[in-house]
Amino acid sequence: MSALKPPVLATWLLGLMDSNAWQDAVAGDLFEDYQQRRSSTWYWCQVLMVVAIAVGKDLRHHWVLALRALAVAVLSLCLAHSLVSQLGVVPRVLHMASPLLGWWPSVVIVAALEPFLICGPAGLAVALTHRKRGATMVLLYVAALFAILVCLCANRAHWTPGCVVFWESAVFALAGALFGGFLGCAWEGFSRTRAI
């Protein structure tokens, strides 16, 4: 009987963590056990638990790197924000989209695009400046961003159109951070494999 492939995304996430002999043994055990249990939910839970424990351990042992990652994130957010403002991305998109789609749809697009363009490069910068611990530092950055956004969203819990746009921006900021961060991690992994 051929081996059943576990969820690809979960395996990829597991592979992003610092690869050593321990991590390989964990991945092998998960693969072997998955052949018997055949439950994607079980596999995902196990992977998330492994990632959470690995991140916790990394942060305990490398707290200076964690502080550096947060500093890099803040600096990159400021840079990306000023770049997006300088290039006038928001007025340009509004100018192009509003005659075609109308005012509100254009605002919705801008509300998604701007935070994505600001938070994405910051995630990329965090991943590329923390090569071996990139995934841990990206998850730390996303968690910090999430905490800030939750604090901001807590004051805007009413369903007015403005608040919906704000919530949308928050979701896309997180999506951008994750996308940029994991893109950086994947790039790091790719260049490491090529070097070997």
Partner 1 sequence: MAKREYLGEFEFVVILALLRLGQDAYGVEISHEIERRCGRGVSLGSLYATLERLESHGLVSSALGEATPERGGRAKRYFQVTANGLDKIRESQRALCNMWDGLKQLEVMR
Q: Which residues bind partner 1 (CB under 8 A)?
A: 3, 21-22, 24-33, 35, 45-46, 49-54, 57
41 versus 160: smaller Cβ distance to partner 1: 41
Q: How far is the CB of 32 from partner 1 (least distance, A)?
A: 5
CB of residue 46 vs partner 1: minimum separation in angstroms?
6
Least spacing, CB of residue 145 vs partner 1, in Å: 24
Q: How far is the CB of 162 from partner 1 (least distance, A)?
A: 42
Residues sharing a CB contact under 8 Å with residue 77, sequence separation 6 or more, in sequence order: 118, 119, 122
Q: Which residues contact 8 (CB under 8 A, 6 or more apart)?
A: none
**For residue 97, what are its two tokens?**
């989209």
Instruction: CB nearer to partner 1: give 106 or 136.
Output: 136
Closer of 20 and 85 to partner 1 (Cβ): 20
- State in angstroms the smallest separation of the CB of 34 from partner 1: 9
**How far, in Å, CA of 163 to CA of 165, rounded?**
5
List, as one string, the DSSP characters of 48-116. HHHHHHHHHHHHHH-HHHHHHHHHHHHHHHHHHHHHHHHHTHHHHHHHHHHHHH-HHHHHHHHHHHHHH
- CB contact set of 60 (below 8 Å; sequence gap of 6+): none
